[in-house]
Structure 1
Amino acid sequence: MSIRLASNCNNCENLSSNGVCKVHGVKVNDSYTCDTFEMKAALKDNRNCDSCLRYETTDCANPQKAAPGMLCSHWAPQSANA
């Protein structure tokens, strides 16, 4: 299964810091999306074991091979900040 950023309000440039949509003027969360969705311009893309939520945990798919700088298909972001 691939990990992708969702086209939802959390990734929209129209979301204000207090969780209110700048276009519609309503409080939203990550379950919402709309036709005026605009993806945030720049997302940090540091995908490897160091930035994986599963690194050095029992959820790691490749515990014998995982190492800083390595990337596998089971990578899970620690956070998705723009």
Structure 2
Amino acid sequence: MAIRMGNNCVNCKNANDAMQCKIHEVKVSANYTCDQFDMKAEIQNERNCLTCLRYEGPTCAHPQKAAEGMLCSSWAPDTAA
């Protein structure tokens, strides 16, 4: 099962740092989403060996084949934005 970003207020560019919605002018949280949801542009989805937490580590599923640009079903993000 892949892990994906949710279409919720935490990932919406309409929510400011204080989790106040600029559209609805209310306090929001990760439990909310709406029809005006607009994904933050900063979120990246660069899924390859170089961005994988397991790359060159003991839990890498394919240590002999892992390389830049390669994708696999065991990919895990090395950082979270």
What's the TM-score, normalizing by structure 2?
0.65
Q: Which has the larger radius of gyration?
A: 2
Shift of residue 80, structure 1, vs aligned partner: 5.2
| Shift >6 Å, 4+ stretches | none
Letter in 2 for 1:38: D
| Matched residue, 1:61 | 61
Q: Which runs of 5+ in 1 are unaligned?
A: none
| Secondary structure class of the residue paired with 1:54 | coil
1:12–1:40 CA contact under 8 A, matched in 2: yes
Aligned residues: 81
Gaps of at least 5 residues in structure 2 are none
* CA gap 1:18/1:61 in 2 versus in 1, 3 angstroms: farther
Deviations 1:42-64 (A, max 9, x none): 64342211111232334433333
Q: Structure 2 CA distance, aligned partners of 1:31 and 1:51?
A: 28
TM-aligned CA distance change 1:20 to 1:53, over 3 Å: farther
**1:55-82 deviation line (CA, Å, top 9, x unaligned):** 233443333322232211222223454x
- Corresponding residue for residue 7 of structure 2: 7
User: RMSD of the alignment, in Å?
Assistant: 2.6
Aligned partner of residue 50 in structure 1, secondary structure: helix
Q: Provide TM-score, normalisation by structure 1.
A: 0.64
